[in-house]
A and B are shown apart, each in its own frame.
Chain A
């Protein structure tokens, strides 16, 4: 496993998510695709955190690179935050979808074109 491969994985996940978010008609599917993009970002953050020594700690002789990579968990913490926020966001998104369905009896996003005014 190298950083490149992980980033390529992340990019593929992101692209699939983006494609889904832009093309699917069903609002639920769009929300799922957005989740996929979140997780692509999480993968990238964790991978970078695992493989790249932060700039400020690079030339510190007291801390060898391996030690730094195992102890500095910035990317992982970031990913945790994103998971928490995305959970909140999906709850909100589903609530909106519910509200839309109640008022318009559909969740087809191509029908939701109120922005064209």
Chain B
């Protein structure tokens, strides 16, 4: 899989459409910026410092939905689509089905995301977390996901003989994402109500993380980590355990989002046990990746993409460990409905998957532009502001959740739980600002890299003459 052997027989230019990779990255970062602004607005509202108070289109309740949807469909989906355009053709040595279809999907997906944002802003949300996408957009998004599968699956299916781990994850993901989106956006909206709709809703929230984001994230880790470290994955057996364990146990977890609801208790127990099983599977995957790093630990200091990846993996292990504990009924009684869960969500979505994507962008952007990063120092700032920011935010909110839970259980007036939360919410704003600053530094660095790149090319032309 090394670049040298690959370029002997296949031209990278014929395989990868670099323009579309960058186009997806730009859209992803734009939506990350939008999402963060929405998050800051809501964080300010909680502190009763909302400069846009009373303006319908800037209602924090609506922007809270933009915050989560822009991350799921704007940032994660766009970035992953870009990364698929890089990794699948290079791994399979076959280009995607049709480059025109790629651009059609790109355009269609931006329309889906923007229409979702517009729908949410004008108060047309659907009542399911991460499924708020207004009902009239759902069929378009569903069609888009079908086209994505049609465009990316042919190169994978053309592979002869056994497939590499990454492709297992990708192949299954195309099926899962399509089915998950259909399940979440149509079943609880049109077919079932009440408690069973809750069960489907739980499955949807969970499968979107577990069967869309997670297989893409880990598939890309299995691709980029060995390439950058220039050594194979430590254990093929553990890779198998990781994939099949995730495939079996992860979809069974959904109901753990609605424990102590009227959903039948035996189903709740089933979800709890499956969640603990997932934690064990995750441990094997983490062991596998740290086994791969063994002997090359210095890379975490020197190589920024590797540092992003392994920071994300540590956070991943922490969130999954936290998950195995918080899913038990004992923990649930205290922490459900509190900021504990909000902290957990930020640790997974930002601390793990967004940081992995930042790492992959850090690796790919200079390769695509054939230049060096403008400022290594700025990359360091991006890393430290983001990693420290999310770590502080998550610990702060997790701790806050405990106090909220105790305040409610002790039957004090509701205002008490607000008063208790206040200092934590202040810390959260500053942690969020740090993450926001990190993103701005990254954007500035990308801009400067682009500007100075042209100068390098000019001087290259000038030199031989």
A and B: partners? no
